[in-house]
Structure 1
Amino acid sequence: MSRSILVFDSGVGGLSILTEMQKLLPQHHYHYLFDHARLPYGELDEQVLIDGCVALIVPVAQQIQADIVVIACNSASTLVLPALRAMLAIPVVGVVPAIKPAAQLSRSKHIGLLATPGTIKRHYTHQLIAEYASDCHVELFGSSELVMIAEQKCAGLPVSQQQLAQLLGPVSQTTIDVLVLGCTHFPMLKEEIASVLGHGVTLLDSGEAIARRVQQLLADNTHSCDINIERGADAYYTGTITEGLKQLLVSKGFNAIKKLTANGQLDI
């Protein structure tokens, strides 16, 4: 049975989550909605972020008859889930930093979290650390620049290893053995980050865990809107995107790539 799955992010970082979901659940139809007009989310005021996400996600979820919504953005997930769940009668899954598995994996009990400034300062993030990594020394590193570098890479532009090394300088100067990639954009730079930090640091993200959670919820959810939905993927965005980014989406198998209309409707 094919289901309609809505994946949302501020930019293309959520593709790292969507890719893991497609590997595990290839039979479903995916709708990828990204709010390029307000990127990066890590610097937005909290209420502005919540209101904007709800205004985008709810009408789109209703229009495509989504069976489940995945908020593939750590910054948004720390804030918008209660508001969305209050307005949607379908499961809403958020992404949280992989603090728990990092604490379990670390031998030195010295781990790091690399995320956007918004995620780093959220009370929710600090609750995760207190609950699952109380036996670890956890260092926090915030960066919005890495989000934009990931976006540029996806648009076909080269990544400056020198710039990356400068941004990751504070991480390199520590003795952590596990680094949590707490932004869905960052796995897109996994190889480049690994080359800067070396083999002594294990990089963790939440992609596979989110895919398994979606699989579990869809198995439990018997309220499918349309059992005849065709498999595949469509992308919708706000703002503007480059031709290089469009080509990336095409290469990833998206059937349609369309801009969200001014009144928040999808041309589907």
Structure 2
Amino acid sequence: MDVQPTAPILLFDSGFGGLTVLAELRHELPDAPVIYAADLAGIPYGEKTEAEVAARVAGLLGRLAERYHPRLICIACNTASTIALGMVREVLETPIVGTVPAIKPAAEMTRTGTIGLLGTAATIRQAYVDNLEAKFAQGKLLLRHAAPDLVAAAELKLRGGTPDPAIFTAAAEGLRQQAGGEEIDTVVLACTHFPLVQDELAGAFGNKVQFIDGAQGIARRIAYLTQGQSFDRQDDDFAIVTGDGQDNEALRGGLERYGIGRILPL
């Protein structure tokens, strides 16, 4: 199938955590046109039921695919991917890349054999995560903790605000207070929002803990699937949002740092 050089890559997330994927994608494909879609009206996904997330993601991606004809869609959201990826692949013909917790590289990185995983409540309870643990972390101890407040903290920081330090302390304690948690030396950031506040998390965990997320691997996968295609990035990237967001000046300033010059309503 011929792909027009101006056909965009569509990055989709509940909010702006997927900017961490966009940053890595720019290293891999600096000339690729990108549309960023944020479902601000639906955030946070991690507190919704699986049925609610699946229906919302499938519906929105269907509308976006029809309107913008992307060459590839990346669901830059761990919660949406672990719940809705299979369904979306069945109904859309567009190639789709999902986001999964970086358990495999974490298992290769850990020295103590004890790994922490921070995610949303919906992500950490998925059988998908159980399967990743069974496949890649045999012989390791994987401790999970739901840290939904980190999503709001990341969104606040992007808009120029200062999150409450107690949020990051609570996330660290949520892992360390579990049996064996004092041995954690590697933490999987299983939500694309969380790398936006990695510096704050590092302060809470201390310098003996290393962090891993999936953004770099996702960007490499997108580059692999689009190799040989031509790209014509005619303008700055732009964002499409549901709900309130297009008139938020603080948000505009945060997005400009990622090369997004416009915010449009969906």
Q: TM-score, normalised by structure 2?
A: 0.91
Q: Secondary structure at the match of 1:37?
A: coil
Q: Secondary structure at the match of 1:38?
A: coil
Contact 2:115 2:143 in 1 (8 A): yes
Deviation of the 1:250 alpha carbon: 2.7
Give yes or no for the alignment of 1:149 onto 2:153: yes
1:135-194 Cα distance to aligned partner (Å, 9 max, x none)? 101100111111111111111111222332133212344221100000000000011101
Residue among 248, 251, 258 paired with 1:252: 258
Amino acid in structure 2 at the alignment position of 1:133 = A
Contact 1:42 1:118 in 2 (8 A): yes
Q: Secondary structure at the match of 2:12?
A: strand
Deviation of the 1:2 alpha carbon: 5.5
Question: C-alpha separation between the residues in 2 aligned to 1:104 and 1:167?
Answer: 23
**Aligned-residue CA RMSD (Å):** 1.6
Unaligned regions of 5+ residues in structure 2, if any?
Answer: none
Q: Secondary structure at the match of 2:41?
A: helix
Deviation of the 1:59 alpha carbon: 1.8
Q: 2:101: which partner in 1?
A: 97
Unaligned regions of 5+ residues in structure 1, if any?
Answer: 261-268
Equivalences for 1:44-59 in 2 at 5 Å?
44-59=48-63
Give yes or no for the alignment of 1:195 onto 2:209: no
Question: C-alpha separation between the residues in 2 aligned to 1:113 and 1:79?
Answer: 18
Task: Label 1:236 to 1:187 Cα distance change in 2 as closer, same or farther (>3 A).
Answer: same
Give yes or no for the alignment of 1:234 onto 2:242: no
Contact 1:28 1:232 in 2 (8 A): no
Q: 2:222: which partner in 1?
A: 214
Equivalences for 1:12-91 in 2 at 5 Å?
12-91=16-95
Q: 1:166: which partner in 2?
A: 170
Count of paired positions:
256
